[in-house]
Structure 1
Amino acid sequence: MRAPWEGAARVLDGKAAASAIKAELAERVAVLRARGVVPGLGTVLVGEDPGSVKYVAGKHSDCREAGIESIRVDLPATAAQGEIEAAIDRLNADPACTGYIVQLPLPRGIDTNAILERIDPDKDADGLHPTNLGRLVLRGSGPIDSPLPCTPRGCIELMARHGIDLAGKDVCVVGRGVTVGRTIGLLLARKDVNATVDVCHTGTADLAAHVRRAGVVISAAGSAGIITPAMVAPGAVVLDVGVSRVVDPGTGKGRIAGDVADGVDQVASWLSPNPGGVGPMTRALLLANVVEAAERTARVAP
């Protein structure tokens, strides 16, 4: 008898899940607008990096779908530290801006940490301000009334919307970057999720052994094809969050590649595509952070 996962893995469809989230957010935005509270997402873009320009444009397109106002701050690549800091201060003080992000990377010579730490934590749409990370560490259970990291939250939400219960599951996270690896461990270990987390990185002695033990694998190493079929336990859930650029041997052109190698779909029970898996969820949960900030404002308004 064939096991239920034998054959092609089922797809963790981030595009469909993100579309549903945006529709739900649009309803919440309509309620807020009826109360006179209008959520607004701000972006600070320095320079004209094609990838960053495209990503910021996508965020504002998402805003239109959900009924959220857009506030764009575009600065030249020659902008000095003080100019960027002044833009941050304006958004901090702007009541029309509910939350905002500074698009990374910033040009050379800019103190990125100083810029990010200057953001008002309550307007931190990415959920990565040191204050908000500290709140996440301190609150291992119960509600968190502060923004959450978008990509880790998106991973968990993607699985939840496909009926995957993480309680009691062994989860192997590959990569220890702050945007995914380190922060998703905090979310997964919260009592409302209740998973057991194993975070692997370049210092892990036997990566394959760790991955093989896991019922859920979340790879955010940014190393093309690092997760091979032989490493994955039959029936495991696999999320491909990694992004790296490789040269296509057939065309000689560069292309984006994920962490998961070909063939893993024949072993796993569920697999997120890359692109089309976690990426759309990250953008949707960014909007959720903005809407939730507006809802907190509405609760405290007289």
Structure 2
Amino acid sequence: MTDATLIDGNAFSAGLRDRIRAQVHTLRETRRITPGLAVVLVGEDPASQVYVRSKHKRTVETGMESFVHTLPADTPEDELLTLIAGLNRDPQVHGILVQLPLPRHIDAQKVIEAIDPAKDVDGFHPVNVGRLAAGGEALVPCTPYGSLLLLKDRLGDLSGLEAVVIGRSNIVGKPMAQLLLQENCTVTIAHSRTRDLPAVVRRADIVVAAVGKPEMVRGDWLKPGCTVIDVGINRVAKPAPEEGTRLVGDVAFAEAVTVAGAITPVPGGVGPMTIACLLRNTLVACARQNRLPLDAI
């Protein structure tokens, strides 16, 4: 069997951003409306700072307004909630994202629930979670939605396929399962308590790995020809005698690539899709808030 086809998230996300940029241009020219994304960063976590800078850059590149609010790590919870209330009222802000994780003295769930569901571009508010579960109109978490776009681009109609989602987080696992159900897949959510996990995974036409454990999913767990979406991003030490670190996914790529039909690499697979889908959600939120139609993106 030949090696799996690599699913190029960089290329797909670039195309998605181009489509978003074109629709933002149309909104600005025909309606004098510019979608606006507000990102709130509390503290100085290095990884969060990198993510926020990248989000700002991509937002501006698509012609949207970017509002970045950087607060010190000791910011009181009430002060953060007051800022969010102001952003909820601001007509120039169509999407709000509070970068996680937050400092320990701040209740992250309280902050998420303070965001107007119509501006919740992370898709974490209970209202959007409920709408997604019920099959309604919702803002959907970015990483699962990006994963779904890659799957549909690769496989087309997903109806009837058996999918195993490894991981049950509110950020990826659960919404991923809901999205696959909406595509008429037969879905299993597997996790740390799943009995004989390799056997469960081996049934799947689609495997979505989102557990946060480096290279946990082995090649012999996979059904030959399956499609693998590796959501994991883990930094591990390079093998001796090399020094430094490298990024790996939740799937043992070197093994999996000889068994799967298609697989996302790490990096360059799902990662680029997350910010692209954040921009998509901001555009969708803007259109809905202004009761405007929007071409499919």
Give 1:141-152 correspondences, 5 Å limit.
144-152=136-144
1:3 aligned residue: none
Alpha-carbon distance in structure 1 between the residues aligned to 2:96 and 2:56: 11
Aligned partners of 2:243, 2:84: CA distance in 1, in Å?
41
Q: Does 1:45 align with 2:35?
A: no
Name the aligned partner's letter for residue 30 of structure 1: H
Unmatched 5+ residue regions in structure 2? none
Secondary structure of the structure 2 residue equivalent to 1:223: coil
Name the TM-score, length of structure 2 as normaliser: 0.94
Q: 1:257 aligns with which of 248, 262, 265?
A: 248
| 1:93 has 2:85 as partner | no
Given that residues 6 and 264 in structure 2 are in contact (C-alpha distance below 8 angstroms), is that contact kept between their aligned partners in structure 1?
A: yes
The answer to whether the 8 Å contact 1:235/1:267 transfers is yes
> Number of residue pairs matched?
290
Range that drifts further, 84-93 or 16-25 = 84-93
| SS at structure 1 position matched to 2:290 | helix
1:94-173 alignment, distance < 5 Å: 94-139=90-135, 144-173=136-165
Question: Separation in 1 of the partners of 2:138 and 2:158?
Answer: 23
For 1:30, the equivalent position in structure 2 comes to 25
Alpha-carbon distance between aligned partners in 1 of 2:138 and 2:87, rounded to the nearest angstrom: 18
Distance in 2 separating the partners of 1:299 and 1:117? 24
**AA matched with 1:73:** H
In the TM superposition, residue 31 of structure 1 has moved relative to its aligned partner by 1.5
Give the C-alpha shift of residue 247 in structure 1. Answer: 2.6
Q: Which residue identity does 1:224 align to in structure 2?
A: P
Structure 1: any 5+ residue segments left out of the alignment?
1-5
Q: 2: CA distance between counterparts of 1:54 and 1:185? A: 29
Q: CA deviation at 1:300?
A: 6.2
Q: Give the drift of 1:298.
A: 2.8
- 1:115 alignment partner, SS class: helix
| Equivalent residue runs for 1:1-302 within 5 Å | 6-34=1-29, 35-139=31-135, 144-190=136-182, 193-250=183-240, 251-261=242-252, 262-299=254-291
Q: Which amino acid aligns with 2:238?
A: D
Tell me if structure 1 keeps the 8 A contact 2:233–2:267. Answer: no
| Aligned-residue RMSD, C-alpha | 1.5
SS in 2 for 1:189: helix
In the TM superposition, what whole-angstrom CA distance separates every residue of 1:160-180 from its partner, at most 9, and x where no partner exists? 223443111000110111111
How far does residue 138 in structure 1 lie from its aligned partner after superposition?
Answer: 1.7
Instruction: Check the 8 A contact 1:32/1:298 in 2, yes or no.
Output: no
Report SS of the residue matched to 1:198: strand
Q: Secondary structure at the match of 1:136?
A: helix
SS of residue in 2 equivalent to 1:213: coil
Amino acid in the other structure paired with 1:31: T
The residue type equivalent to 2:228 in the other structure is V
What do the CA deviations read for 1:7-54 (whole angstroms, capped 9, x no partner)?
111011101000000000111111111202110011000111110000
Contact preservation (8 Å) 1:22, 1:66: yes
Q: Report the AA paired with residue 239 of structure 1.
A: I
Identity rate, percent: 42
Alpha-carbon shift at residue 231 of structure 1 (Å): 0.6
Which moves more between the two structures, 162-171 or 62-71? 162-171
The C-alpha deviation readout for 1:79-120, integer Å capped at 9, x for no partner, is: 111121111111111111100110000112111111111011
Q: Which has the higher contact order (CA 8 A, sep 6+)?
A: 1
